[in-house]
Amino acid sequence: MSLHAFTTFWHRFLSVRWLIPILLVIAASSFGLFTLKSDVAQGDLQTEQQAVAEMTLQMTYLQGTLERLLRMGDLPAVSEEVAALGSNAALRQGVLIDERQKVVASIRLAQRGRAVHEAWPELTRPQHTQRMQHARVRMAGSVHVSEDGQQVMGYYPVTLQTSHRGDKVGMLVLQQDLTSNKLARRAAAERWAARSCLVMGVLAGLLGLVVHVVLGRRIQRLVSTAHRLAQGELHARAGLRGVDEIGLLGRAFDHMAEQVDRGNQQLQESQERIRALLDSTAEAIFGLDLEGRCTFCNRAALRLSGHEHAEALLGRSLHSIIHPQGDEPSDCRVCEAFREENAVHGDDELIRRAQGSDVPVEYWSHPVSRSGERVGSVVTFVDIGERKRAESTRRRMEEGFRTLIEHSPDAIFLHRAGTLLFANRAAATLLGHASPEPLRGLPVSELVLPGEEGALTVTSHAGVAREARFRHHEGRQAVGEVMTVSLVFEGLPTVASITRDITERRQVQERMLATERMVSLGTLAAGVAHEINNPLAYMLSNLHFVDTEVRTLAQSAEAFSGDQGREIQQALREAIDGGNRVRDIVRDLKTFSRGGDDKRSPVDIHTVLDSCANMARSEIRHRARLVKNYGAVPPVYANDSRLGQLFLNLLVNAAQAIPHGNATLNEIRVTTMMSGRQVLVEIQDTGVGIPPENLTRLFDPFFTTKPVGVGTGLGLSICHGIVTAQGGRISVESRPNQGSTFRVLLPALETPLEAVRAEPERVAS
């Protein structure tokens, strides 16, 4: 037989038609051997268990019988009972041993009366001696199978004699052979295994015949269908029927073929969708192989290159497409990019269209790998002509905006991380410089006075401008209203501070404040004169009296120590009190009239309120009672002159809101307390109140509710400016015919409240 024929035979032998019957025969044989081994082992175990049970039952009965006969003293009956055990052919030994190790009874007559080591030497072995000793101690029998499994040994104690000196205990020992029983069971197991193997062999032969005749043809049909599917005939089906395994396999095979066919259709549809998606993109996409030849292009690529059909690009090198009349490929940056292992990006390339025009493009080159090996690249181009034109337009707009900023009347500062990046000409003018160049690069902290940096660095909220004092190049101060916003400058976050120079306006306001002071002083002139005249009247009168009395008493010094002397002393004290009062009034007038100095310092708010109350006394005394309810508050950080003007205006307004004639029924209450970390001052009156429609305009300049000629409309506006300049807030609450309450919040110094003493409520005279 040739090698090819042997190989063919071996392959056919190992085919399913032959392999299944052979495997079934092997399985049947293996099953028979396994069954035989299992049955033999199970039979031996059952034989041992049965023998142990029978011997236990037999020896238990024999133990009781022998003890009964021994108590009766019937020794012959005991020997007969033991000898009767010899009828059991499987019982090889059986003896009753007394306490002296003598054989009392045995199944063999020759052993009676002999010592144990002579009659049955095997019992002298240690394992038997230990078991007999254990049975005597426990007075309970035990049955054991030998280690080789061929014998069963039983040890049961028997009471030979009972007396007051103790019981005499003997030992009944039996030995049974299991060999014959096990051989019989093993023979039966072998016969059963032989019959099982024979039946399985017959079944394997029949099944092999069925497989060879029926299964082989159906499998061959499956093989033929699989070959057709492999050749691309995705519509091929096996068409096998039936409910057996081959039928199920055939239907599963046909279902798999349908899934493959459906998957192929879905793949084609997916490819069409991807193609449509790529064709709908605005980016020009080229697929390249390792040689740089075009293997794919979308419609945008055709439009960018100026061609109508993809056949004009496929198979051509990328360099010949984008530079049909250009330099060598080694000089093409795009061609160099797709040879790189990593992604490459560029935005400075020109593509020559088929019509001869150049298009500026931005490109990306990405490598394509399959199974870890690079197979090509994808290069994407974007027409950036519009972007270039937009950038040119943006640059022109930036130049226009820069010109607009340069010529803006407001000072504009651009700074980042505390360093000035840009300043326009108005900013240079604000700081006293001829040009903005010396300012660039300076720290922001050098542009303003200490403590004013927040106006330039902290973003303004709700469009509210803040005031800041700037360092002028000539050494003086410049005041500006600052609006700070965040923006992007040169691609990075930047802070822009737009500043309007209000130095001249502040000077005008100072002049207006002085004018308002003069108006307030004019209003109080009559009252102040009256207040000064009253103490001066009795001062002059008392002084004249003192002068007259002193001249008279000079003639008689003895009378100077009497009642007249005491009157003179009283008059002098009154003169001193009046002089002190005049001094206080003058001091308050001087404090109120001091201006032009905005320096802040710690101020005792109660001292300022008392001074203002003294100055407004003539306006208040005929209209209402002045009640002071001072709480425990720390000093405030403010300007005492400005606070004097503020509270004097509020007290005078409160007094003017109350008609004359009911001073005992009306009151003006001044209250101080803490509100968080600020000092709150409330000035409450019981006057006519303010209409609701006027509350929103109350602090507007030149707005007044007083008759023409009485007020200028600047008092509350100036009060609002003073409070804001001191870092505080002012608000009003009013109801018609129920009075008004003005609340002023001022920043408090960090002083513990325990160190501040509260003053009891008192009514000013």
Provide the CATH number for the domain around residue 707. Answer: 3.30.565.10
Q: Is 81 exposed, middle or buried (0-12, 13-18, 19+ CB in 10 A)?
A: middle
Chain-centre distance of CA 526, in angstroms? 72
684 and 752 co-located in one domain: yes
532 and 485 co-located in one domain: no
Listed in sequence order, the residues at least 6 apart from 517 whose beta carbon sits closer than 8 Å to its beta carbon are 592, 593, 595, 645
As a whole number, mean pLDDT of residues 515-530 equals 58
533 and 636 co-located in one domain: no
How far is 190 from 62, CA to CA, in rounded Å?
Answer: 37
β-strands 91-97, 729-735: how paired?
unpaired
As a whole number, mean pLDDT of residues 731-740 equals 90
Query: Lowest-pLDDT range, 343-357, 501-515, 688-702?
Result: 501-515
| Single residue among 157, 184, 211 that ends a domain in this structure | 184
* Whole-number pLDDT of residue 713: 47
- Closest of 59, 47, 45 to residue 177, by C-alpha: 47
For residue 742, pLDDT over 80 is answered with yes
As a whole number, mean pLDDT of residues 408-417 equals 87
DSSP 282: S
* Whole-number pLDDT of residue 239: 75
**529, amino acid identity:** A
| Single residue among 499, 533, 552 that ends a domain in this structure | 499
Provide the CATH number for the domain around residue 342. Answer: 3.30.450.20
pLDDT 10s digits, 196-246? 777 777 777 777 666 666 666 777 777 778 777 777 777 777 777 776 677
* Whole-number pLDDT of residue 712: 46
Residue 248 lies in a domain: no
* Whole-number pLDDT of residue 765: 46
Q: Which residues in 610-620 are b (16+ Cβ under 10 Å) and which e?
A: bbbbbbbbbbb
* Percent above pLDDT 70 for the chain: 76
Find out whether 71 and 167 touch, Cβ atoms under 8 Å. no
Which residues form the domain of 435? Answer: 407-499
Residue 538 lies in a domain: yes
* Whole-number pLDDT of residue 740: 92
Query: Lowest-pLDDT range, 218-232, 241-255, 715-729, 745-759?
Result: 745-759
As a whole number, mean pLDDT of residues 359-371 equals 85
As a whole number, mean pLDDT of residues 736-764 equals 71
How many domains does the chain fold into?
A: 5
The better pLDDT of the pair 630, 489 is held by 630
606 and 741 co-located in one domain: yes
Q: How confident is the model at residue 709 (pLDDT cuts 50, 70, 90)?
A: very low
Q: How confident is the model at residue 753 (pLDDT cuts 50, 70, 90)?
A: very low
pLDDT 10s digits, 292-309? 888 888 888 888 888 888
* Whole-number pLDDT of residue 526: 47
How far is 445 from 426, CA to CA, in rounded Å?
Answer: 19
Mean pLDDT over all residues of the chain? Answer: 78
714 and 612 co-located in one domain: yes
Which pTM does this prediction carry?
A: 0.32
